[in-house]
């Protein structure tokens, strides 16, 4: 086990451990403007949403570890406390990376990275035409987290207006998670993309309370075959299932027929079959198999 004490390793190394561990991070593409009207565009993956009412986003332009200088984005925000935060998708990622170069102050990254600036409706910084989601924000507070290189500056923003491309929406006019192909930042040069191959759903347990892993019968909780994820699925039912006399399953019948003389093998077969059903999302059926054990 590698144990790290912040302060005992160089900041640049600690930074990489944090980036690798706290990942994937969504990317805020932050469009700001100086008091002279010079636009600036830069990506920030120390970013997330923190409240819906009021709608609050926070991102963090850090002091550079190398020379303790601050980002142009931050300088602009002190001059004009407004920002458009755009969502970064797979179609934009190379240009977004290009925009993160340390261009001299006053260089317009919209031009350098080849993005199209669209006038925003409520704030001065422009929106990014190529992004499917633009959020016009006012800055509520900037909270410096330190004065040394590597110190973040929390830019706390309130969303005033969101613009979402129709092409992302489903029939209910909600964002279809399969259509918005966000990219996220990890450690080093790694990114990941949201697409159908890596999306999966986990049933939301917030309307009814799950019975909990601690309530599972001991032979299930201590199963040699079931994983933590599978126990989580079983513990997420809202009441302890009872044996259903009407439950019929050909495979269960075969297991009982072939393995009734060998309890160990029978357990293995039942638990392995339950795993298969859980993988298919058939939680109640898996319970019936396990209760039959």
Ligand X SMILES: Cc1cc2nc3c(=O)[nH]c(=O)nc-3n(C[C@H](O)[C@H](O)[C@H](O)COP(=O)(O)O)c2cc1C
Residues that bind ligand X (CB under 6 A): 27, 40, 42-46, 60-62, 71-73, 97, 100, 102, 185
- If the CB atoms of residues 77 and 216 are measured against ligand X, the closer one turns out to be 77
- If the CB atoms of residues 100 and 236 are measured against ligand X, the closer one turns out to be 100
Question: Are the C-beta atoms of 134 and 125 separated by less than 8 Å?
Answer: no
Q: Nearest-CA neighbor of 288 among 250, 254, 248, 258?
A: 248
Give the ranges where 35-142 is alpha helix by DSSP (H).
Answer: 72-79, 93-99, 109-113
- If the CB atoms of residues 61 and 132 are measured against ligand X, the closer one turns out to be 61
Give min distance, CB of 198 to ligand X, in A.
19
Asked if the bond preceding 24 is cis, omega within 30° of 0, the reply is yes
Give min distance, CB of 208 to ligand X, in A.
38
Give min distance, CB of 77 to ligand X, in A.
9
Give min distance, CB of 78 to ligand X, in A.
12
Question: Are the C-beta atoms of 73 and 30 separated by less than 8 Å?
Answer: yes
DSSP state of 148: S
Q: What is the four-CA torsion angle of 153, 157, 162, 168, rounded to 10 degrees?
A: 40
Give min distance, CB of 96 to ligand X, in A.
6
Helix (H) or strand (E) holding 206: none
- If the CB atoms of residues 76 and 233 are measured against ligand X, the closer one turns out to be 76
Give min distance, CB of 142 to ligand X, in A.
13
Q: For strand 55-59 and strand 47-52, is the pairing parallel, antiparallel, or unpaired?
A: antiparallel
Adjacent-strand bridge partners of 30:
42, 85
Give min distance, CB of 6 to ligand X, in A.
18
- If the CB atoms of residues 32 and 288 are measured against ligand X, the closer one turns out to be 32
Q: What is the four-CA torsion angle of 126, 146, 48, 140, rounded to 10 degrees?
A: -50
CA distance 60 to 153: 5
Give min distance, CB of 58 to ligand X, in A.
11
- If the CB atoms of residues 171 and 189 are measured against ligand X, the closer one turns out to be 189
CA distance 1 to 226: 26
C-alpha to C-alpha distances, 267 to 16, 121, 163, 223, nearest whole angstrom: 45, 64, 55, 9
- If the CB atoms of residues 15 and 282 are measured against ligand X, the closer one turns out to be 15
- If the CB atoms of residues 190 and 258 are measured against ligand X, the closer one turns out to be 190
């Amino acid at each position: 086990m590698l144990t790290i004490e912040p302060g005992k390793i160089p900041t640049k190394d600690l930074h990489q451990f944090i980036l690798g561990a706290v990942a994937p991070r969504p990317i805020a593409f932050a469009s700001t403007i100086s008091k002279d009207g010079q636009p600036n565009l830069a990506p920030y993956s120390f970013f997330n949403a923190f409240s819906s009412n009021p709608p609050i986003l926070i991102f963090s332009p850090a002091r550079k570890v190398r020379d303790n200088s601050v980002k142009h984005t931050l300088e602009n925000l002190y001059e004009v406390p407004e920002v458009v935060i755009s969502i970064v998708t797979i179609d934009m990622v190379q240009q977004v990376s290009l925009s993160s170069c340390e261009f001299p102050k006053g260089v317009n990254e919209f031009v350098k990275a080849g993005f199209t600036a669209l006038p925003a409706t409520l704030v001065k910084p422009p929106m990014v035409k190529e992004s499917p989601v633009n959020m016009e924000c006012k800055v509520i507070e900037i909270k410096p987290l330190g004065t040394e290189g590597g110190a973040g500056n929390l830019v706390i923003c309130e969303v005033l207006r969101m613009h979402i491309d129709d092409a992302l929406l489903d029939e209910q006019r909600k964002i279809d998670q399969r259509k918005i192909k966000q990219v996220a930042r990890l450690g080093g040069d790694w990114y990941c993309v949201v697409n159908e191959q890596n999306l999966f759903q986990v049933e939301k347990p917030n309307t009814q309370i799950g019975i909990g892993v601690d309530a599972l019968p001991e032979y299930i909780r201590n199963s040699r075959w079931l994983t933590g994820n599978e126990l989580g699925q079983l513990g997420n039912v809202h009441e302890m299932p009872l044996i259903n006399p009407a439950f019929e399953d050909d495979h269960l019948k075969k297991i009982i027929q072939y393995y009734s003389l060998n309890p160990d093998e029978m357990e293995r077969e039942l638990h392995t079959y339950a795993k298969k059903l859980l993988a298919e999302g058939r939680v109640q059926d898996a319970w019936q198999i396990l209760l039959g054990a």
